[in-house]
Amino acid sequence: MTDRSRVFVSHGIEALSALAGRDLLAPLRDKADCRVWAEPGRPSPEELRGHMQSAEGLLCLLTDRVDGELIEASPRLRAISSVSVGVDHIDLEAATRRGIPVGNTPGVLTETTADLAFALLLAAARRVEEAGNFLRRGDWAGGEWEIDAFVGKDLHGATLGIIGLGPIGQAVARRAQGFSMRVLGWSRSGRQVPGVRGVAFTELLAESDFVSVHVALVPETRGLIGTEALGAMKPGSILINTARGGIVDERALAQALRSGRLAGVGLDVFAQEPAGADHPLIAFPNAVLTPHIGSASVGTRVRMAELAVRNLIAGIEGNRMPACANPEVLVRFGKG
């Protein structure tokens, strides 16, 4: 018999552990009876539910849907920890109602995600993918160096509009300043950031040559960039989204690309993930698309896993998590 807590880890992280040179789950194994999903792919909702019958803790990824039903069907659950900063895949209200803290990973991925936003910005502005594909297809061979081939847009001297001025939006603003861009910003809270001119939402859309999205996906931001917002963007501008797919209406975006209203787009996130090869935006040569890799550097993914493990250990031990997405639960239970 053992009185160790049982936790379920929804995705084996051996490959990341190998890159780190150590077992990233070791601190959790020391404290708890750790059941790790070892099958290919991710657990189905039914399989997840089955594992959560006896688990007191859950270590999950953003691909696991932790809805109210799952939380209610997990009688022993005392702590959830996601290896992500975004927690839109977790029903926070349901967790809070049950007094369950939800850990996330803010901070550790800020700079890495800002790097990817900037990579997409540069790639879309300078048509890097289109030009690379031209070369790979052999279309350059036998041709010429053309004076008007793949002419794109300069970043220097252009205006970048940042939607959402949290840590990642601010990190993108710092990069833009280094590229001699003028930076406008808008946030729902009206936050002011040095070096960023705070403007109204519609002014940002109308004045920016590039718009980069950095708000969280919450009911108020779902579909924020739809037909109306896209129509308000400067003709020939470029949209970048490394936040969440649900913030942008993809059908309206496809229409804006088709009509030539937007010169390009850089997307790391999609309304439905994983996106298939039949995704309508793949047909656009001026769409730079990546499969949700914003935080994908070895160092950052290791730091995310470590923080998520620390969060889960704290949660199952009844301590304050180092990063908690629903801190009101701690106040309610006298741990705030």
Residues tagged active-site: 244, 273, 292
Q: Which one, of 241, 272, 91, 105, lies nearest residue 162 by Cα?
A: 241
Helix axis angle for 110-125 and 128-136, nearest 10°, is: 60
By beta-carbon proximity to ligand DGY, the closer residue of 51 and 214 is 214
Instruction: Tell the residue number behind the tokens 């953003």, with chain if given.
Output: 62
CA dihedral 298, 301, 302, 306 (to 10 degrees): 170
Beta carbons of 63 and 273 less than 8 angstroms apart: yes
Distance of closest approach, residue 296 Cβ to ligand DGY, in angstroms: 8
CA 311, CA 79: separation in Å to the nearest integer?
9
Degrees (nearest 5) of the Cα angle 257, 259, 264?
25
Piece in contact with ligand DGY (CB under 6 A), picked from 70-78, 80-88, 133-141, 305-313 = 80-88
Distance of closest approach, residue 20 Cβ to ligand DGY, in angstroms: 16
Check residue 213 for interaction with ligand DGY (CB under 6 A). no
By beta-carbon proximity to ligand DGY, the closer residue of 152 and 294 is 294
| Residues 284-323 contacting ligand DGY, CB under 6 A | 294-295
* DSSP one-letter string for 35-87: EE--SSS---HHHHHHHTTT-SEEEE-TTS-B-HHHHHT-TT--EEEESSS--
**Contact code string over 83-122 relative to ligand DGY, x by CB under 6 A:** -xxx----------------------x-------------
Distance of closest approach, residue 273 Cβ to ligand DGY, in angstroms: 10
Instruction: Tell the residue number behind the tokens 């996906």, with chain if given.
Output: 217
Distance of closest approach, residue 272 Cβ to ligand DGY, in angstroms: 15
**Contact code string over 34-63 relative to ligand DGY, x by CB under 6 A:** ----------------------------x-
The site for ligand DGY (CB under 6 A) is made up of 62, 84-86, 109, 294-295
